[in-house]
Amino acid sequence: MKKKITIIILFITVFKTEAQTSVLKTADSLLSKGNYQSALVKLKTVQKPSHRVLTKIAGIYHGIGDYTNAIVFYKQVYNLLPSNIIKEKLGRSYQASGNSTKAIELYEEVLKVKLENGLLKYELAKLYLNHQKVKKAINLFSDLSQKDMLNPNYQYQLGVAYHKLGQEGFYDSGNHFLKAYKIDSLHLKSIYNLIKFYKKLKFKDSTSLFIDKGLEINPKSISFNQLKVKDAFLKKEFDTTLVYLKILEELNSKTIFTYKMYGLTYLKLKEYEKAKYYFKFAQKIDYRDANVLFNLGLVNKALKNYKEAEMNFLMSISFQKPDIDANYYELGILQLEQKKLKKALQSFKKGYENNSRNYLILFQLAMLTDDYYKDKKIALKHYKRYIDRFSSKHTASTLYAKQRVKEIQKELFIKGEKVNRNNY
């Protein structure tokens, strides 16, 4: 009898295994046609799915970017049959989902057992870098570079890691970027960082050399063309500067950088009308750029457009002020809540002086002066200014301001004081 039961159990097991194998084959066939939805439906019809079926489901979810479901099914696989392979796949799903802390934890566990897993070390090292665990990243990248001395990317990543250490790792970063370049002279990321490295060292020849190498490899790179423009301009090679600015325009890089550099170049060449033309273009992109306004002032001065020049210089001074009005606004609100009215009043005044376009501060200033001073003409002035300049900003505030203007004007009229009555 026992023998018969054993045979029956064995038969059922074989039947289930064959059935699940058939489902897996069907799912693979559907996936080969790109029909992952039908593949998932088919796989989920399996009762008491094996680790192979669950792994296939998790892999499909990971492949289509549904990392939450991928994690759910990889966890089921791991509970059914724990292995470092599944733990690694689970870690990759966590990493892809944005939970890099959990990914790091799982990768570290796997690497304790699978010491020679180079791909996993590389992923973990990059995660360490993103989490500011720079020394740990350096250790892993160093280990990888010793085992594969012909891989430029390990040297490049070491350069990036040492760069994150600031001044402490400055020279090491440059040395590793240079090593990456020596292994692969087409490694553009290393070339780009070598330009910045030599520029900081003020090694002009080396800076120019690597800019030219970058352009030789990728002549349509906006970044390298911008570097060439700045390099040529600083070397006073203005014709060359214009050549590369033209290339930037052809690459559709019609940015404030391009127009500012055109303006500066023509200013140096004393072609003032052309300089003005390009500075005006730059102004359309950012009218608050103090540098553009200052140089536009120089151009108008040279053209003897003195009124325009004066306005340019005044605006450049105005826009050089740090925007700290938001800080004063929050400080004033805080002081109001603590009933420190005089201090709040000072904060709102300073905030408005810093940025007269901040309508929130002006409204608070109007209301507080209304409460604080007996002389209502001060509040009246602020309310009127608010209505004149910002009536469209906030309906309720505008209605309140208009109502207070009417009430204050009526009070002053009763007292026999002269006021300019506006129809608000």
Q: Per-residue DSSP letters for 115-166?
A: TT-HHHHHHHHHHHHHTT-HHHHHHHHHHHHHH-TT-HHHHHHHHHHHHTTG
| pLDDT for 14 beyond 60 | no
Q: Identify which has the larger pLDDT, 318 or 232.
A: 232
Question: How much is the CA Rg of the chain, to the nearest whole Å?
Answer: 34
| Closest by CA position to 316, among listed 350, 281, 353, 279 | 279
Determine the CATH number of domain 325-414.
1.25.40.10
| Closest by CA position to 234, among listed 208, 215, 253 | 208
| Closest by CA position to 98, among listed 122, 65, 75 | 65
List CB contacts of 357: < 8 A, sequence separation 6 or more.
none
Per-residue confidence (pLDDT) for residue 8, from 0 to 100: 42
Q: Find out whether 237 and 245 touch, Cβ atoms under 8 Å.
A: no
Q: Identify which has the larger pLDDT, 56 or 137.
A: 137
| Closest by CA position to 66, among listed 29, 47, 27, 40 | 40
Report how far residue 232's alpha carbon sits from residue 59's, in angstroms, rounded to the nearest whole number: 52
| pLDDT for 394 beyond 50 | yes
| pLDDT for 232 beyond 90 | yes
Q: Which two tokens stand for residue 56?
A: 């296939």
Report how far residue 186's alpha carbon sits from residue 206's, in angstroms, rounded to the nearest whole number: 16
DSSP type of residue 167 = G
List CB contacts of 112: < 8 A, sequence separation 6 or more.
none
In tens, the pLDDT along 155-200 reads 999 999 999 999 999 999 999 999 999 999 999 999 999 999 999 9
339: left (phi over 0), alpha (psi -120 to 50) or beta: left
Per-residue confidence (pLDDT) for residue 153, from 0 to 100: 96
| pLDDT for 70 beyond 70 | yes
Report the range of poorest mean pLDDT among 134-138, 250-254, 332-336.
Answer: 332-336
Per-residue confidence (pLDDT) for residue 424, from 0 to 100: 58
Phi, psi of 309 (to 5 degrees): -60, -45
| pLDDT averaged over every residue in the chain | 89
The segment with the largest mean pLDDT, out of 36-50, 76-90, 210-224, is 210-224
**pTM of this structure:** 0.70
List CB contacts of 41: < 8 A, sequence separation 6 or more.
none
Query: SS3 helix, strand, coil % of the chain, rounded to 5?
Result: 80, 0, 20
| pLDDT for 91 beyond 80 | yes
| pLDDT for 47 beyond 60 | yes
List CB contacts of 308: < 8 A, sequence separation 6 or more.
300
| pLDDT for 257 beyond 70 | yes
Q: Which two tokens stand for residue 197?
A: 């490295």
Using 50, 70 and 90 to split pLDDT, how confident is the model at 4?
very low
Q: Where are the domains of the chain?
A: 325-414
| Closest by CA position to 28, among listed 53, 65, 64 | 53
In tens, the pLDDT along 100-134 reads 999 999 999 999 999 899 999 999 999 999 999 99
Using 50, 70 and 90 to split pLDDT, how confident is the model at 420?
low
| pLDDT for 384 beyond 80 | yes
